[in-house]
């Protein structure tokens, strides 16, 4: 078994339960994964460092004095029913890439660091890409440490504990100057598998907006109120839901999801007086997201004019699309061609740490296929040969990127 496959199997034991892997930030299981990463790095003599929110780095020195580092990595945390590849593959892949450089006696001008970002999934503390957000200055460290989980424990408290906290004997990272960022990840969608191609170069990470829509009508007896006199909150909400679906289809390359929907009082013989639902819209450019938001607002005001209801739309979250760096993408494409492989351009509908990194340094991502396009489930899987090929593409990309960024 190759090192990447073998190590992913080792990590998959940590937090494993009958419905998948549960390895949330600053838990016993997640700390064990960080310890395992540190043990592998120490075996190879890489210099370890961490920061106050639990990001962990393993550094292979560069040849040029004072050169900024090429950072390569992903995350070790999972959703509560996660798979063995999302995140862990990019961390293990980065470490294997450093070892491949050693094994082939390839020196790089820049130091190259494998990084395990803390808390990408936001499964426990309410912030996605937590570690990379703090690292890049998008989110303040003290605010991150003050975030609390559902039981009231703060991240700061969890990271101060010996069982769940920062690693002993690992110094704080000092060097923050970046030359470039590369992230290897499973696609988590079906495009590469469908195209029969093992490697994808990410064009952009989709922007995302999330809304809460509340429609208030008047509840009443299901048998006695004539249709023309009703203010049915659910029927009105249904129009809005279908309007945003149409808008996403018209915009193209846009996905919209109504993932939560609550009806009050939620009884079969009572006209719904209130309907509350979420709308999550994602696309690689803001114009498409704007189009769906426009349809959401227009259809909402439309139902309030035609039906006896009032309605409100609150925007809860907005994340701009993150295009990957064109020069870095070109370097990755050259690297993949140099090892005799093919790659296609793919967008990323899911968020990644590369999104945060792209705001402070040139960033690029390499995808490998997910079998059946499945992710965030126990059945998440990628073929061993694709895992190995992704690491080879990463090694070649590091060598190529090293040539032109200083």
By CB under 5 A, name the binding residues for Zn ion.
Answer: 86-87
**DSSP assignment letter at 13:** T
Q: How far is the CB of 375 from Zn ion (least distance, A)?
A: 8
Distance CA(59)–CA(69), nearest Å, equals: 9
Q: For residue 141, give every residue at least 6 positions away whose Cβ sits within 8 Å of its Cβ, in sequence order, or none.
A: 52, 53, 134
Smallest distance from Zn ion to CB 74, Å: 6
Measured at CB, which residue is nearest to Zn ion? 87
For Zn ion, which is the closer residue by CB, 188 or 299?
Answer: 188
CB of 346 to Zn ion, least distance (A): 15
The distance of closest approach from Cβ of residue 7 to Zn ion in the complex, given in angstroms and rounded to an integer, is 17
Q: For Zn ion, give the closer residue by CB, 128 or 207.
A: 128
Give least dist CB 205 to Zn ion, A. Answer: 11
- Nearer to Zn ion (CB atom), residue 117 or residue 139: 117
Is residue 202 within 8 Å of residue 324, measured between CB atoms?
yes
Q: Is residue 38 within 8 Å of 56, Cβ to Cβ?
A: yes
Peptide bond into 300 cis (omega under 30): no
Shortest Å distance, C-beta 349 to Zn ion: 12
**Beta carbon nearer to Zn ion, 216 or 380:** 380
H, E, C per residue of 312-326: EEEEEEEECCEECCH
The angle, 0 to 180 degrees and rounded to 10, between the axes of the packed helices 384-404 and 3-12 is 110
Nearer to Zn ion, 87 or 231 (CB): 87
Could you count the other beta carbons within 10 Å of the beta carbon of residue 45?
A: 10
Q: How far is the CB of 326 from Zn ion (least distance, A)?
A: 23
Q: Are 247 and 347 in contact (CB under 8 A)?
A: no
In the complex, least distance from residue 86 CB atom to Zn ion, rounded to whole angstroms: 4
Distance of alpha carbon 212 from alpha carbon 237, whole angstroms: 12
DSSP 182-215: EEEEE--SSHHHHHT-S-EEEEEEPEEEEEEEEE
Q: Report the nearest approach of Zn ion to the CB of residue 78 (Å).
A: 9
DSSP, res 111:
-
Q: Is the CB of residue 356 less than 8 Å from the CB of residue 132?
A: yes
**Residue of 266, 267, 261, 220 whose CA lies nearest to 237:** 261
Name which of 188, 194, 134, 137 is nearest 159 in CA terms. Answer: 134
Q: Which is nearer to Zn ion, 119 or 207 (CB)?
A: 119
Give the nearer residue to Zn ion in terms of CB position, either 148 or 376. 376
| Number of neighbours of residue 71 by Cβ within 10 angstroms | 27
């Amino acid at each position: 078994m190759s090192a990447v496959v073998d190590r992913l199997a080792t990590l998959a034991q940590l937090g494993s339960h009958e419905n998948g892997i549960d390895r949330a930030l600053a838990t016993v299981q997640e700390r064990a994964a960080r310890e395992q990463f540190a043990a592998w790095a120490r075996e190879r003599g890489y210099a370890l460092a961490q920061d106050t929110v639990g990001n962990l780095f393993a550094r292979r020195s560069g040849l040029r004095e004072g050169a900024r580092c090429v950072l390569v990595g992903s995350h070790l945390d999972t959703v509560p029913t996660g798979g063995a590849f999302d995140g862990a593959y990019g961390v293990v892949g980065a470490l294997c890439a450093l070892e491949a450089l050693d094994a082939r006696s390839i020196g790089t001008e820049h130091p190259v660091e494998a990084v395990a970002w803390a808390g990408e999934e936001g499964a426990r503390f309410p912030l996605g890409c937590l570690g990379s957000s703090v690292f890049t200055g998008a989110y303040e460290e003290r605010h991150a440490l003050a975030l609390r989980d559902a039981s009231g424990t703060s991240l700061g408290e969890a990271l101060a504990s010996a069982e769940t906290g920062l690693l002993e004997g690992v110094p704080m990272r000092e060097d923050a100057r970046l030359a470039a960022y590369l992230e290897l990840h499973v696609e988590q969608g079906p495009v590469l598998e469908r195209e029969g191609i093992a490697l994808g170069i990410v064009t952009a990470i989709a922007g995302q907006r999330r809304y809460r829509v509340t429609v208030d009508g008047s509840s009443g007896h299901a048998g006695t109120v004539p249709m023309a006199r009703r203010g049915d909150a659910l029927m009105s909400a249904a129009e809005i839901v279908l309007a945003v679906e149409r808008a996403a289809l018209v915009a193209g390359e846009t996905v919209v999801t109504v993932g939560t929907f609550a009806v009050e009082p939620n009884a079969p013989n009572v006209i719904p007086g209130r309907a509350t639902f979420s709308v999550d819209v994602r696309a690689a450019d803001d114009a498409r997201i704007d189009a769906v938001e426009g349809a959401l607002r227009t259809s909402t005001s439309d139902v309030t004019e035609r039906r006896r209801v009032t309605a409100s739309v609150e925007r809860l979250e907005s994340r701009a699309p993150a295009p990957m760096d064109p020069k870095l993408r070109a370097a990755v494409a050259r690297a993949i061609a140099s090892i005799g492989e093919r790659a296609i351009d793919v967008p990323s509908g899911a968020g990644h740490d590369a999104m945060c990194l792209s705001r402070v340094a040139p960033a690029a991502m390499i995808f490998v296929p997910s079998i059946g396009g499945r992710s965030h489930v126990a059945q998440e899987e990628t073929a061993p040969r694709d895992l190995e090929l992704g690491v080879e593409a990463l090694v070649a990309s590091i060598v190529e990127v090293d040539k032109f960024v200083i």
